[in-house]
Structure 1
Amino acid sequence: MFSVINYSTLVLMAVFVAACSSSENRLPIYGERDTVTKEVDGKTVTDTVYYQIPPFQYTNQDSLPVSDKTFAGKIYVADFFFTSCPTICPKMKTQMKRVFDKFKGNPDIMLLSYTIDPRHDTPAVLKEFATSLGVTGQQWQFATGPKEEIFKTGKSYMVVAQDDAGAPGGLLHSGHFVLVDKEKHVRGMYDGTTEEGADRLMADLNRLLAEYEKK
């Protein structure tokens, strides 16, 4: 069974996978792996099964359901934030807006921002926040729902999202952007507070798009 692993472990695992796939210039696949043995044409075949983001369902900025099905067949970038965050969130949203502007209108790419303060961040608040960023349409989804469920979802992306009385705003979350491919595999993690991190993400989005063009 798959389980969430700590960040240092997943980095080591990603490096290992990257080394194994460098000849194809493919992005690494993060997370634990499992093996499945089956019979194919009378022969025993062992396949590698990679960690996938599990199903989820929340409510978006338009008060409509947003779930893993919304992103079926899409590459997407996920992050965690809250609209009243006084520290890293403004930097993160500045960088995510750069990503949005670069890939705006690309049917293969979506963005997903989960709020970790659902009590304040209602759909109406998220809608106002999206509008203030100049975001319209469905390519960038903002999700809200039960806080403990969102915290659990954060772990599934291998990032921190939790209450913390000692943190500004009483909430603590990772500043990472998480790149997810069309098969729900985590393919990259980036510092969402810096231009350099966003630039790496955008370069890797192009690499991932190229991977699918070769298939």
Structure 2
Amino acid sequence: MRRRRLLSVAGALAAQALCPVADAAAPATERFARNFDGMRLRDQDDRPFDFERLLGQVLLVGFVYTGCSTVCPVQTRALVEVLARLPRQARVRLVSLSVDPRGDTPAVLRAHARQVGADLSRWSFVTGRIEDIDRLGERLRLFRPDRAATPADHASGLWCIDAEGRLVQRYAGNPPDVARLVRELPVLAGRAQG
């Protein structure tokens, strides 16, 4: 039990160190969204996707690709369960960004979302240009430095962004702790409304 707690604390500290956000002097609304500045992202409906328009909601952001057969499907199934268990009125939105822009077109993402039973009224599947995903990967340290040119070795964590756009928590994504997310996300969303 003690070892598990130490590993949990060490993991949390490592996650904080690996999550670059804008400096503390920057306005809160710029912190996480600033990582996406200049990127042309598209959602599953092939509409422009902009993090700024989601301010006011708690966001749980993860990185996946539809061709994955290991971690991504497990994470996606868990997040389907999280959304199903969250109160409808909770201002929580999930965002899954593809790390495989070559294969994950908006149409592919939409088909995938339907196949897994994702509630698209509260969940966006997003893709972008290859250079944007590569740049985002560098900014958020999504890939191992020695990775091959495939999306397989990407970070599986989940970034939790508060209603003001600040990174407030990194959750494990392999697999996500469904009970913890169901318990904590509404509390965070309630603070935003209060």
Within the candidate set 77, 88, 92, 1:105 is matched to 88
Pick closer, same or farther for the CA change 1:35–1:171 going to 2, 3 Å: same
Q: CA deviation at 1:68?
A: 1.2
Structure 2 residue aligned with 1:19: none
Within the candidate set 7, 15, 24, 1:34 is matched to 24
Render the CA deviation track for 1:87-106: whole Å, top value 9, x for unaligned: 21111111111122123633
Q: Percent same amino acid among aligned pairs?
A: 24
Structure 1 residue aligned with 2:48: 65
Structure 1 residue aligned with 2:155: 174
Structure 1 residue aligned with 2:63: 80
Render the CA deviation track for 1:162-208: whole Å, top value 9, x for unaligned: 78228xx553211111110111111111112225x232222221221
More helix by share: 2
Within the candidate set 133, 136, 139, 1:153 is matched to 136
Within the candidate set 180, 184, 204, 2:184 is matched to 204
Matched, 1:187 2:192: no
CA distance, structure 2, for counterparts of residue 190 and residue 87 of structure 1? 18
Instruction: Name which structure has the greater RCO, CA cutoff 8 Å, separation 6+.
Output: 2
Structure 2 residue aligned with 1:130: 113
Structure 2 residue aligned with 1:39: none
CA distance, structure 1, for counterparts of residue 124 and residue 151 of structure 2? 24
Q: CA deviation at 1:150?
A: 1.9
CA distance, structure 1, for counterparts of residue 87 and residue 55 of structure 2? 18
TM-score scaled by structure 2? Answer: 0.76
Pick closer, same or farther for the CA change 1:108–1:34 going to 2, 3 Å: same
CA distance, structure 2, for counterparts of residue 31 and residue 59 of structure 1? 22
SS class of match (2:73): helix
Pick closer, same or farther for the CA change 1:73–1:179 going to 2, 3 Å: same
Structure 1 residue aligned with 2:16: 11
SS class of match (2:109): helix
Structure 1 residue aligned with 2:100: 117
Q: CA deviation at 1:72?
A: 2.1
Q: Identify unmatched segments of 5+ residues in structure 2.
A: 1-11
CA distance, structure 1, for counterparts of residue 29 and residue 117 of structure 2? 36
SS class of match (2:31): coil
Alignment length, in residue pairs?
A: 178
Within the candidate set 73, 76, 86, 1:90 is matched to 73
Cα RMSD for the two superposed structures: 3.2
CA distance, structure 1, for counterparts of residue 13 and residue 62 of structure 2? 19
Q: Identify unmatched segments of 5+ residues in structure 1.
A: 1-6, 15-29, 37-47
Task: Give the aligned residue type for 1:192.
Answer: G
Structure 1 residue aligned with 2:31: 52
Q: CA deviation at 1:153?
A: 2.7
TM-score scaled by structure 1? Answer: 0.69
CA distance, structure 1, for counterparts of residue 99 and residue 153 of structure 2? 9
Structure 1 residue aligned with 2:123: 140
Structure 2 residue aligned with 1:40: none
